Amino acid sequence: MLPDYSFYTDTYYGNQISELDFLRLTARAGVYLDGLECELSAVPADTMKKAICAVAEAWQINEQGGDVVSQSVGSWGKHFASGKPKTNEQRLSEAAKLYLGPCVSGVRWM
């Protein structure tokens, strides 16, 4: 039930993951979601695919070392992350919770 890249770009409207990295990241996201002690069989297919896309984007951020704190090119710059930085696990579970809601709130692992 993994989404394909056209679902990611045309339905989820994602633009953070390259097509080259998409399969690897969504495979990891799917395994992550399967590890939740949640009943996911009742989740509509499109909702599950969106959850996989969200977790895949969070996984990519984790691989890159976290949220952007500072970046500049010439006079242009951006700064993210205020307050306490998120852990890798927090980032993944928050992404999953966007689409799977209460199931992920009290996350327990198998």
Q: What is the pLDDT of residue 70?
A: 56
Whose CA is closest to 96, among 41, 38, 42? 38
DSSP 108: -
Torsional sign, CA 12, 7, 11, 51: negative
Contact 66, 89 (CB under 8 A): no
Kindly indicate the confidence band of residue 110, based on its pLDDT and cuts at 50, 70 and 90.
Answer: very low
Mean pLDDT for all residues in the chain:
84
Residues 6+ apart with CB under 8 A from 31: none
pTM: 0.80
**Tens digits of per-residue pLDDT, 13-42?**
999 999 999 999 999 999 999 998 888 888
Q: What is the mean pLDDT of residues 44-69?
A: 89
Q: Where does the pLDDT of residue 1 fall: very low under 50, low under 70, confident under 90, or very high at 90 and above?
A: confident
d(CA 12, CA 64): 22
Indicate if the alpha-carbon torsion angle 6, 10, 11, 13 is positive or negative. positive
Domain boundaries, the chain: 5-105
